[in-house]
Amino acid sequence: MTKQMNLRLEEDLIKEFEELAKEENLDRSALVRKILLEGLQQERLNFALQKYMLKEISIERAAEIAKISIHEIILKISQLGISSNLTLDDFEKIL
């Protein structure tokens, strides 16, 4: 089910959407939907990784927020070179 959402955009931005839609052979709405979806997924991931790096949430919670599997988030963390959020202090507590 779809719902209508009204959005005010700059004229230049609308023009850019129209240009790209023409290039990609898509109608303007389809292109905007596609970009919104991709942007939303990326934003979820960025937000989750930021919270993880700040030690505000766990790795599994980050996967839940990003709506990806734990395998996927481990891969993303590794690809981005993000260090494990465990600290020297954590290890000293358990060793």
Partner 1 sequence: MKKFVFDACSLIYLTKIQLKEKLPLLGEIIVSLTVKNELLADVEKFREVKTLKKNINKKLIKENKSNIENIFSSKKLGKGEKETIEICLKVKGIPVTDDHKALNFALSLGLKPKTSEVIILDLFKENIINYQEFKLFLKELAVIKALKPEILSLFKNKAKEIINNIKKNKK
Interacting residue ranges for partner 1, rule: CB under 8 A = 55-61, 63-64, 69-72, 74-75, 77-78, 81-88, 90-95
Taking the complex as a whole, the smallest distance from the CB of residue 41 to partner 1 amounts, in Å, to: 15
Taking the complex as a whole, the smallest distance from the CB of residue 66 to partner 1 amounts, in Å, to: 11
Secondary structure, 3-state, the chain: CCCCCCCCCCHHHHHHHHHHHHHHCCCHHHHHHHHHHHHHHHHHHHHHHHHHHCCCCCHHHHHHHHCCCHHHHHHHHHHCCCCCCCCHHHHHHHC
Which of residues 43 and 56 has its CB atom nearest to partner 1 in the complex? Answer: 56
